[in-house]
Structure 1
Amino acid sequence: ANEACAVIRGSHDHVVSVERNGKPCHAISFQEEEVGEIYERVKGMDYRTLIEFVKTMNVAEYPILQQSMDMNMRFAGKAMEDLPNLEMGKVMEKHEDSRADEKRLPSRIQHITAVVVEARMRGLDFPVMACAGSGNQGLVATIPVVETAKATKAPHEYLLRALALSYLTTIYIKSYTGLLSPICGCGLAAAVGAGCGIVYLMGGDIEQIEAQINNMVGTMAGMICDGAKSGCSLKALMAVGLAVDSAYLSLENVRIPETEGIMGKGILEPLSNLQRIIEVGMPTMDSVIVELMEAKGPKG
């Protein structure tokens, strides 16, 4: 029988070597730079620098934006075709109107995102573009922005810039929370990124984009991660719904005051506070979640 061996280092998806029957597979390429180093570099940046980059970059030099949108929206199309096999998505489809207008935007985004995440968690065999190491995060960071652009009839280049902001914000937040953590990456990173992309699409300025981060972090901080499963679709549904509602608040300059809860000045203090909660307050909780999952044992 053939045997294969793969070695990861630094993070769960950083493969450094693959062997088949004891021989290296030279056709496989690997990252030269440690993933942790990349995130530390992002973490050291001023978030406003990322916003300015999004506003001024030549989108033609970043074809991955179009590729990501195309790949993830193709997956969304396949997921909608697979509705008869989805439990949650099938029910939501009964109550959803497919019109893509701005008044119905929150429920439309919730519906599509939940269907797509459920389809992926149930094994739909079609590729997606990940963001910050997660396919679900890639979907959640993409679909709400694209659907908002459709509803508002935003120019295509503007959509690509909004997607860039969504992805960069997701990566920026993950540099604080960690790639694998006891909190939900879709809720606390990807949906926040999508919300920032939505604010950008709707003409929001830097302060309003930062308000979006604060509002969502202050609201979603308690959402835990208890593994990849079909129930992730409901977490995604709740998170992207909040992303749209919070965007409307942020555009009216409504934000959670810095004196409340885990909030603070700008976005650096809230994200640093979130990081402290994860690193200091949650290690025991993480272990308990894993124990509960392991205790279930293999099914059937």
Structure 2
Amino acid sequence: MDTKKKNLYDAYTAILKEELVPAMGCTEPIAIAYAAAVARETLGMLPDTVRISASGNIIKNVKSVVVPNTGGLRGIAAAAGAGIIAGKAEKKLEVLAEITREEIQELNAYLDTASFSVTGSQSGCVFDIYIEVHKGEHSAEVQIQGHHTNIVKIRKNGETLFGKDYTEENQSSGEDRSLLNVKDILSYAKEVDLKDVEEVLERQIQYNTAIAEEGLHGNWGANIGKILLQSYGNSVQNRAKAMAAAGSDARMNGCEMPVVINSGSGNQGMTASLPVIVYAEDMQVSREVLLRALLVSNLVSIHLKTGIGTLSAYCGAISAGCGAGAGITYLYGGGYEEISHTIVNALAINSGVVCDGAKASCAAKIASAVEAGVLGMKMYQFGSQFYGGDGIVAQGIEETIENVAELARDGMRETDRKIIEIMTDPR
């Protein structure tokens, strides 16, 4: 293997290990809980005043979702309070995984007695969480920017203990995602030694399948997964949608089971993986083929989301649904041409679905995203496709992906502001 190819191989492997990590609960409230846990740890005592500043997209994604292990509590104060009372900062995105019943009771009492205030961030950063805690004359401050565990500042009693620069233009954390492209993703998926990625993929299969099964058998949220099966039968296509939706049913509504995320999102992690797993079981392919198809799905999803950014008005499940379509096409033996057309078709069908925060309806959007991914594949199987010049579709897969990124990242900024304005209006 030449040096250039080896460097790309190592980068793609590192990206997978950075992205496919476990998280319990919707990742935005969990990020608030993580920041709060670090703030409490830094302060060294239980604060009686908690001030939280968050960017609009954080507020949007925390407003309606249940914070896990809190007895059904919702909202920013609940997430911060849980992190302060019982969070294990060293567990990062699983910061609330070990809360006890006694601690839930303590949390409820704390929310009644401590002073909480929440304001909108004025930093201009799309992903910004700032938490300041006080006890008497003592204080601690923690700031996260860019992504869910990226702490950029820790201060105690006005003294900076840790600090680093962060800008939207220079996101220096981890491997360079701009190295991703569909052609090299497929080469990597076919050639990688599975020993290098097997652990993260097997964990994704185990965790995400388990929470999807819970979503189908329990009573979570709007029960979209169950409704899909009851309404449209047991075809592989419907089961693929139902499993992904069921995982979101459970996760958005307080299920205390972990998922393996993709692009900072559990919903995207489930959307990128569960449909591929369902199709692989139905087709009775080998474990190796399934794992390689999951590589395609996960990396395509990350590639699509990279240009859009961590949070925006563009529903992230759409990117993951395209990834799932690509992974399923790989299961059928599709190569670069077939997978490229699947992605382009799927993007043409569903781009423009808005993100109005994490909540029960995410499960329905996931079902729509999976439907678009599978339809994109079926179109090409039957000799039909969208062409360059059809709306936002360009001549070339990478050019189309960039068009969608510009639409979501730049074109939908005013849409995002309006969504947040509507969601925070007290009417």
Same fold (TM over 0.5): yes
Match of 2:147 in 1: 11
- Shift in Å at residue 175 of structure 1? 1.2
The residue that corresponds to 1:170 in the other structure is 301
Shift of 1:218: 1.0
The one-letter code of the counterpart of 2:186 is I
Q: Which deviations, in whole Å up to 9, do the C-alpha atoms of 1:122-163 show, x marking residues without a partner?
A: 111110011010010001111000000011111101000111
- 1:1-300 to 2 correspondences below 5 Å: 2-3=46-47, 5-16=141-152, 36-37=171-172, 41-62=176-197, 63-83=199-219, 86-95=222-231, 97-98=233-234, 104-187=235-318, 189-296=319-426
Q: Secondary structure at the match of 2:143?
A: strand
| Larger CA Rg, structure 1 vs 2 | 2
8 Å contact from structure 2 (residues 275, 370) kept in 1: yes
The residue type paired with residue 329 of structure 2 is: V
1: distance between equivalents of 2:180 and 2:226? 43
Return the offset for 1:92: 3.5
Count, aligned residues: 284
Name the residue aligned to 2:97.
none
Query: 1: CA distance between counterparts of 2:359 and 2:395?
Result: 36
What CA RMSD, in Å, does the superposition of the two structures yield over aligned residues?
Answer: 2.8
Q: Give, in whole Å, the separation in 2 of the partners of 1:144 and 1:131.
A: 14
Distance in 2, Cα, partners of 1:89 & 1:263: 31
Looking at structure 1, the residues matched to 189 and 422 of structure 2 have their Cα atoms a distance apart, in angstroms, of: 42
Whether the aligned pair in 2 keeps the contact of 1:40 and 1:175 (CA below 8 Å) is: no
Preserved contact between residue 132 and residue 171 of structure 1 (Cα < 8 Å): yes
Partners in 1 of 2:222 and 2:417 — Cα distance?
31
Cα gap change, 1:181/1:290 in structure 2, threshold over 3 Å: closer, same or farther? same
SS state at 1:211 partner: helix
**Residues 10 and 35, structure 1, Cα contact 8 Å, conserved in 2:** no
The answer as to whether partners of 1:210 and 1:267 remain within 8 angstroms in 2 is yes
CA distance in 1, matches of 2:301, 2:356: 20
Residues 21-70 of structure 1: CA distance to partner in whole angstroms, max 9, x if unpaired?
999999xxxxxxx9934688222443201110000001111111111111
For 1:271 and 1:183, the matched residues in 2 are separated by 13
Q: Give 1:78 shift.
A: 2.0
The one-letter amino acid paired with 1:10 is G
More displaced 10-residue stretch of structure 1: 288-297 or 82-91: 82-91
Residue aligned with 1:172, SS: helix
Specify every segment of 5 or more residues in structure 2 that has no aligned partner in the other structure, as ranges: 1-44, 48-83, 85-140, 163-168
Alpha-carbon offset, residue 173 of structure 1: 0.5
Q: Distance in 2 between matches of 1:256 and 1:141?
A: 23
1:90 Cα deviation from its structure 2 partner: 4.4
Distance, in Å, in 1 between the alignment partners of 2:193 and 2:175 is: 25
CA positional deviation for 1:179: 1.2
Q: Distance in 1 between matches of 2:144 and 2:221?
A: 34
SS in 2 for 1:208: helix
* Counterpart amino acid of residue 163 in structure 1: L
Counterpart residue type for residue 366 of structure 2: A
C-alpha separation in 2, matches of 1:147 and 1:84: 21
- What is the one-letter code of the residue matched to 1:146? I
More helix per residue: 1 or 2?
A: 1
Alpha carbons of 1:200 and 1:89: their partners in 2 closer, same or farther (altered >3 Å)?
Answer: closer
Q: Does the residue aligned with 1:8 lie in a helix, a strand or coil?
A: strand
Q: Against the structure 1 CA distance between its residues 92 and 160, is the aligned structure 2 distance closer, same or farther, given a 3 Å change threshold? A: same
Partner Cα distance (1:256, 1:39) in 2: 35
1:165: how far off? Answer: 0.8
Q: Is the 8 A contact 2:317 2:366 kept in 1?
A: yes
Which range moves more in the overlay, 13-22 or 266-275? 13-22
Tell me if structure 2 keeps the 8 A contact 1:182–1:225: yes
2:135 alignment partner in structure 1: none
Letter in 1 for 2:218: D
Instruction: Flag the structure with higher strand content.
Output: 2
Structure 2: distance between partners of 1:18 and 1:111: 43
Q: 1:197 to 1:84 in 2, by over 3 A?
A: closer
Q: Which amino acid aligns with 2:337?
A: E
Of 9-18 and 203-212, deviating more is 9-18
Do the aligned residues in 1 keep the contact of 2:325 with 2:342 (CA within 8 Å)? Answer: yes
Partner residue of 1:101?
Answer: none
List per-residue Cα deviations over 1:86-124 (Å, max 9, x = no partner).
5444444433545xxxxx121111222222211111111
Identity over aligned residues, as a percent? 30
The structural deviation recorded for 1:232 is 0.8
Please give the secondary structure, in 2, of the residue aligned with 1:141: helix
SS at match of 1:7: strand
- Structure 1 residues 55 and 183: alpha-carbon distance in aligned structure 2, compared to 1, 3 A threshold: same
Give me the TM-score of the superposition, normalised by structure 2: 0.61
